[in-house]
Amino acid sequence: MKQDGKLAYGFLLPASIIILGTVFYPIVKTFIYSLQRYKLTQPENKKFIGFQNYIEIFKSQDFQYAFFNTIIIMAVVIFIGFIFSIITAVILNSKIKISSLLTAAAVIPWALPPVVNGIVWKFIFYSDFGFMNKILFKLSLIQEPVKWLDGRYGTLLIIGLTVAWRVIPFCAVVFLANMQSIPKEIYEAAEVDGANEIKKFFNITMPLLMPSAAIVLTNLTMSGINVFDEIVALVGFRNLGQPLLIYNYTQTFSYMNFGYGSAVTYIIMIASGFFGYFYIRSLNKGGGAV
Amino acid sequence: MRAVCKKAGIIFIIMVFLIFTLGPILWCFIVSISPENEMFSSTVNFIPNNPTFQNYAMLLNINTAQGQIFIRGLVNSLKAVSVTLIIGLPISLMTAYALSRFKFKGREIIRGILLTTIVIPVFTTIIPLYAIFSDLNILDNIFWLSIVYVSSFLPMITWVISNYINGIPVELEEAAYLDGCGKVKAFLLIIIPNSLPIISAVILMMFLMTWNQYQIPLILASSLDTKPLSMVAAEFSSKDMIKYGMTAAAGILALLPPAAAAAIFRKSLIFGFTQGAVKG
């Protein structure tokens, strides 16, 4: 048995080296950077300054602006994502001949590179020849093209929609697995009592979906916080409607302010760690369809 | 009459569903085959009168400037996928096996750390990684880029495989131990052959996740010789938006491999992800 233990550590060694070297060491390092005045443009001016960066961040108008942008995107992703993943799951769950083909169609958005997803949606909302404007022209609802991505809230809404569209399939699959695990007997009993489809959905399916709802909600939340690629493709690194991750990137890699950027990173990490905790808990508990 | 109505209702729902899931991609494809003058003309045609595949021909032709960048990106993406799989797959199998089948001190702690690492987003490690890579002179290096990919997928992939191995009956290995088989042999001869469904699922998952990377290579490997296809497509989008048809074509070509793989192997994909997300 003793030898067994040694062998186990042997099996774990390669993964440990990689994780320690590229995840844990950098996380500690990020914290150290965050307590320093550290600009890559002035390397000789590196100095320990305590929590000065954090104080500066909380005072910064730009940070607050980015913070609220992230909250809005998150809310849109959760709202659209939750409703449409349940609808998608119900459709995929229906016993029709082509449901396998529908699943094939449904997983495609999931597989898209997020940055390409941004490009795809840019063509929908492009003001000159975007799909939306063409439709609205065709229906004679507008005379001038709508500039969808020129305002703050329009941009945030479209970003949220774009991200939700990509993550809906995954969430739908989680719901679907949960739905398929609900015993048929429960529905049959309800039918005997004269329940119709809608009643069955709200009184049986919905309450029994609670375990997977936890996974879906945390997943949507994390996707909302972590948006980056889609935004770069949709609007680039501009200030208008800029959420936290883009703010963090420009501070760090455009202004080369590593100390300040690291502190921003830590703040976002703690915020998303808060949600991540619930995710881990639901994973460890075994989530839904067991 | 009611049956007809119901059928019409179902067909309507399916149509709406397909428009929402595939419509945006279809539009991107239409843009990619539309000649410039038709797209901007005041007529509001949706389908071009004279579709052209010229943008695709240019992107896939090594003799054009765009084609060179594009094919370079394609090769870089494939290289990164290969390295990530060759390194990531054996390591995650080994780690999962140890966590599922060995009893040793600190197992629960390691499991906990692994789970925590799943939710650590890449941007929290990228600043020092950039500094380290820069110091060691390994920026713009596909091998080291792939190591970072491996580190970001490893926890999740290991978790998925470990859940699967937990479901393999221990009796198979116990019989082998009686025949004098050791743990290493049991891993190679029993666990791996019995894990083929999950192995193919995680290969697919790792392929998708590597192919779709953008932020990590943007920071760590943005040179022409290393940047992946996703970055090339994004650059067409930001710099060459005037050439919208080219951008759309680049987008379609970049999404084709992962989209096709996911649609064809959908069962495997769903199996893999639910193994990680739903069962514990």
Please report the pLDDT score of residue B241 as a whole number.
57
For A65-86, the pLDDT digits (tens) are: 999 999 999 999 999 999 999 9
Helices (H), chain A: 2-19, 25-34, 52-59, 61-93, 99-111, 114-125, 131-138, 152-180, 184-192, 197-200, 206-208, 210-225, 229-235, 244-249, 258-285
87-146 in chain A: CB under 8 A from chain B: 88, 91, 94, 96, 98, 102-116, 118-124, 126, 128-129, 131, 134, 137-138
Kindly list the distances between the CA atom of residue B11 and the CA atoms of A103, A157, A165, A175, B242, in Å, as whole numbers in the listed order.
Answer: 16, 30, 22, 23, 39
Identity of the residue in B27, B237, B277 whose CB atom sits nearest the CB atom of A233: B237
CB contacts of B148 in chain A (<8 Å) are 22
Q: What per-residue confidence (pLDDT) applies to B43?
A: 55
Residue A3: pLDDT band (50, 70, 90) is low
Give residue B198's pLDDT: 95
Tell me the Ramachandran region of residue A134: left when phi exceeds 0, alpha when psi lies from -120 to 50, beta otherwise: alpha
Give A200-239 pLDDT, tens digit per residue.
Answer: 888 888 888 888 888 899 889 989 999 999 999 999 999 9
Q: How far apart are CA B54 and CA B236, in angstroms?
A: 16
Closest alpha carbon to A118 in A160, A162, A83:
A162
Yes or no, beta carbons of B219 and A253 under 8 Å apart: yes
Query: Looking at the predicted structure, is the pLDDT value of residue A279 above 80?
Result: no
Which pLDDT does position B280 carry in this prediction? 39
Q: Do A128 and B40 touch (CB under 8 A)?
A: yes
- Chain A CB contacts of B20 under 8 Å are 165
d(CA B227, CA A211): 40
Looking at beta carbons, which residues of chain A come within 8 Å of B39?
A: 129
Residue identified by tokens 């390591």 is B91
Q: Are B217 and B145 in contact (CB under 8 A)?
A: yes
Residue A124 has pLDDT above 50, yes or no: yes
Asked if A276 is an interface residue toward chain B (Cβ–Cβ < 8 A), one would say yes
CA-to-CA distance for B55 and B61, rounded, in angstroms?
10
The number of C-alpha atoms within 13 Å of B181 and in the hemisphere containing its C-beta is: 17
**pLDDT for position B277:** 62
Query: Residue A157 pLDDT > 70, yes or no?
Result: yes
Whether A30 contacts chain B with CB within 8 A: yes
| B278 touches A290 (CB < 8 A) | yes
Q: Does A14 touch chain B (CB under 8 A)?
A: yes
pLDDT in tens, A94-111: 877 788 888 999 999 999
pLDDT per position as a tens digit, A32-43: 999 999 998 888
pLDDT in tens, chain B (280 residues): 678 888 888 889 889 999 999 999 999 999 999 887 777 665 567 888 888 999 999 999 999 888 999 999 999 999 999 999 999 999 999 999 999 999 888 888 988 888 888 878 888 899 999 999 999 999 999 999 999 999 999 999 999 999 999 999 999 898 888 888 888 999 999 999 999 999 999 999 999 999 999 999 999 999 999 999 999 999 888 765 567 889 999 999 999 999 999 999 999 999 988 877 644 3
Phi, psi of A217 (to 5 degrees): -65, -45
User: Residue A109: its chain B contacts at CB < 8 A?
Assistant: 21, 25
- Model pLDDT, residue A251: 93
